[in-house]
Structure 1
Amino acid sequence: MAFTNDELLTLLDMTSLVHIILDKSGKIHKINRRCKQLFSIPEERIIGTTLTEFMLDEDISTFNHLITSLTQNHPQANETFRFAIMVSKKILSIKFDFSYFDDKVYAFGIDVTEEHAEHDLLSRISKLTRTGAWHYNPDNEFIFFSEECYLLHDLEPGIDITLEQAINYYHPDSRQRVRDSIERLLKTKEIFDYTERLITKKGVEKWVRVIGVPVINKNKVIFVNGSFEDVTERYHTIEKLKQNEETKHLALKGIRSGLFDHLIETNVVFYSKDFRKMLGLPINIDFVPEKEFRKMIHPDDAEEALHRHLSNLEKKGHHYLNHFRLKHLDGGYRHYEVYGYRKKNQKGNTIRMIGNLIDIHQKKINEQLIIENQSRLQAMVNNGFAYTVLLDTKGIILMSDKDSLKIIKRDFNVDPMATPSFFIDVMPLNFKNTFAHEFNEALKGIVVKKEIERITYKGSVQWLESKYTPIFNNQKKINSILVSFHDITERKSAELSIKEAHIKEQELSTLKSNILSNFSHEIRTPLNGIITIANLLLSNEEKPEEREKLLNYLEESKERLLKTINNLSHYSEIDTLKKNLNYVEIDMNYSVETSYREYRHMARSKNLSYLLELDESCPTANIDESIFSSALNNIIHNAIKYTETGEIIVKIKSEKEKIYIYITDTGIGIDKKNIRKIFDPFIQESIGLSRKYEGTGIGLSLSKRYIEILGGKIKIESKVNKGTKFTIILHKNN
């Protein structure tokens, strides 16, 4: 049974999901209780305001593009948006599913603040890179330090710290520059990146590189995210390289091979002894002209290598990076990478560069082998099952076939091969219900199979057989899960067709038996009565009182036979009836009372209490009174027919936009297993020779069809030997 409007509104208000109704401009028309709780803003300030009023600036353009893209042809979209609202000291993040219908946008969202909080992301990055993460709220001056930040300052993790306390850990010479950097960021909204001295709580001097990134809302910095990196060792190394040439020569002796010193102004290069041996250069010559070295670069790499070399010399900073193939002592070519440090003059021009040339030939061969193997594997994946996805043990997509990638890009606007994506975030909604269970079972080493029904974006039904296969490494540990989907739509359709055909065959067989049984009784019985009475009348029965009784019996048999034939006629002519309805505004009290009076004599003949309750508001409805009366008459007749003692109550009541007509009896009731069949034509709870009551079983079926034609519904509640309650529901005139 479908939810009523009131039930649906209550459900939306009680759910933990955020529900917002918008128009195409993004203006908010309605919100549920969960939305009010998260936004912590009075409802009157939210309704009528565009959703972008509460979003972070950098998310607004994404939202405007998304809501503009929603059309009747593309009514679905999903995206995560952040709001300038703090939840447990974190920026509120909500993941929405948007649906466009009837010029309205319905947004259902879930609070994902914990997964998307900026400082959590920075904390995870800091653990991987051994870099401390921090963030600062300028409104309340709250500072968050990751565990790495506390350790870098020699502080106990978790203690509260203010901005001024954090600045005081810097060397006195650095403190004002740090304050200036923060104030400049708040004014200009530009990222800062500085390297300054820090004095830890234990008095240890460190050099730290600090980066600050602003989070902006309504052109105001509401948050600053950043990182701390201990660069003490690197800082001192660079300073020594810049100030002491002797350090350079010591470094040349300490590196095993591949070391060079390039004098830019004279264009000569000093190569270490091992370097010269490696490349086949003369052992007795320390300095080699640069042009001689360039002749050793592979012809296919020479032009690009020179371009990178010149770009490196001109770029900011001091580092140098290049790569190319060099001719080797054995006559072949090998892959090398060049790492260097550039010394500059006062004008900022590079005058000298020292560095190391690293042989990465085997690494390149391995990379090429991996690429070739991936290509082969991808070809197998693309030509295997209907869809195939390889996941790591966390559920992140490692590889996928081209058709799955196409669907994910189309439906979720993300490329999982370019951006790490959890499979559960980019799968159809009906896959999600059982994914976690099946994935966890596969992580235990169990191969799991399951059949899934899905609706394609074209609207057709597709059946898939999913298979979760654990992949083991050399240590027999699971390192990935292969999820494959095989299209079994044709097989499933065949199975369903066979099953439906079998059920239809059984239904037809039962229907045929019921029709034959009912009609054999309902037509033969009155015909036998007519024939018998006719014979008695023809035999010139002389007693007048007996003759009158026979005429009454003849009339009853005639009426019964005529009613059976009329019901059959009405049932067969329903389609024609739909085209010839006469809708008029009817006083429902009057119509119900008319049907009630028609069966008063029948109820009295069985000594039943027969009651009528009308609605004082006198509701009206636009209906065809003829077929409504037929439907109501059949139900009242049945109620009296199947009730031997007790009462029959006919009641009408209107609520809001509906009219309810109740017919309640204390009769034999209907068994739970038969209650669904009661509206089927030619069906009675007792049938065949064992049936207890007369009738074709068409009446209730006709009633149901008539009420549905009028746009209404019939409901039934019943208990065996307790009675039955029929409810007719119609639309009320306003």
Structure 2
Amino acid sequence: MDIETVLHKTAAWIILSASMGAGIFVVLLVSYEWIKRFGVFGETLFLLGVVYFFYLCRKTIQPTIDRFFRRKKYEYQETLVKITEEAARSIYTDELIEKVCKCVYNVLYPRKLCVLLNTERGFVLTGCIEHGEYKKTAERPVVLSLEDPLVEWVKKHKRVIQRDQLDKDPSYQKIKKSAKWFIENDAEMLVPLLLKDNVVGFLVLGKKESLKKYTFDDLRLLENLGRNIGSVLNNTLLHEKIIERERGLRKKIESEVQKRTKELQESKLALLNMMEDVDEANKKLLEAQEKLQRSYEELKRVDEKKDEFISIAAHELKTPITAIHGFSQLLQNDKIIENKEMRKKFLKIIDKETKRLGNLVTDILDLSRIDLGTIKFNYQKVDLYEVLESIKREANVLIREGLEINYEIEKGLPKIITDRERLVQILLNLINNAVKYTPKGKITVGVKKEGAFIHFYVKDTGIGIAKAQREKIFERFYQIDSSYTRKKGGTGLGLSLCKEFVERLGGRIWVESKLRKGSTFHFTLPVNKNENLNKTK
């Protein structure tokens, strides 16, 4: 215990003793003569009364002293749930960081508490709370690089770094140099905000204002809080990306409308100057106006589809997140933890929903890369049998009761030069689509060689597609309009991404279908890269 702590405790107990001593003195002064009448018995009762009075004084004054010297007591589990629920209400990242700083401060009372956020530049200082006052960092300096040894150490060990362990524990020697910023800023605890194997940020805590050491409960609270806040932080970042995407689409549409309006005005002036025949000029002007109206209606339709997509994407993101959060909460129940089968079932559901969330985010990012023209393809020699074995493992998770999946794979298939990851993504999207629209029945996945191309197909016995809708199903955001499909949901991105990938890889995609009989989605890919490049050109 340091000298400051001793002085603080001494001062507190002097105040407490003085308060109680004054009270006892007054009582003694007033009741002394009266107590003497009862002799030893009266004095004994009086002493018991003094002891009880001392107890009441201590019980009354101690909480005030604890608050004054920042020694608040808390219940670990209740505090963890309370802070996590408060953080989960945040929509934006800055709002979340401020809430976390204030909540942690009001429980542990660190002299200083900072948040570092994972960005493209590195881990930047985002916000701090010092002596109870929160300040948002405007400049956001980089504190750690993304490849820093300290970051790699945290990814591997997934635990809190304590200041006093940097000198004592040999396993920390490799990262001691990287921790220079934390040492210079008198940090005591470095808490990673984790999302699976990724570090999305850090909580940096200084010494406690009470000058006490961090306890085991403090460490346990911070470690679990790091995992929970990491998940919530990832959700707010995804939400902000969706909003940014919406703004970009809106700006693009507004720019297109302005461009078309300008073209109309220029066309109108050119027609008036060039045409001597007023009737002919009016006719052409009317045609131009109708063309603009059609363009406007088309842009309006795209805008409506975009708004619908934003709404659907938000819902599709929220659905697995809600499931993950719900089953994670259930897993905190001691009875469920002891039941291995139930725990295994819940973890399987969490894993399935996490994969679903990951696939949705991948589709959104691929869509963004296509629009920006930054999407890349990794051409390599691909073993189709190995790919199909991987597909079988993934597809088995999708198949539900009342549904079976078969494979018709031709023998002697050659290795092809293509992008393996995109091929897997195309096949899984088509299988997932078949599962979604086949209540009961059979799905068949087939592969065969046709000349210089490999022909893939996914056949189902589902609800089928009306002829009027077959040409539209590969459009972005388009969803078949039926009561069954509305129940199943989806973003309308899967088939449009399949078309983009197949055509960019040098193949083509089409569908054959009959209502209430089922559908077959076909696509081809060239065997050799040269065929691929020629086809793309």
Instruction: Give the TM-score, by structure 1 length.
Output: 0.31
Instruction: Give the TM-score, by structure 2 length.
Output: 0.41
Structure richer in helix, relative to its length: 2
Structure richer in strand, relative to its length: 1
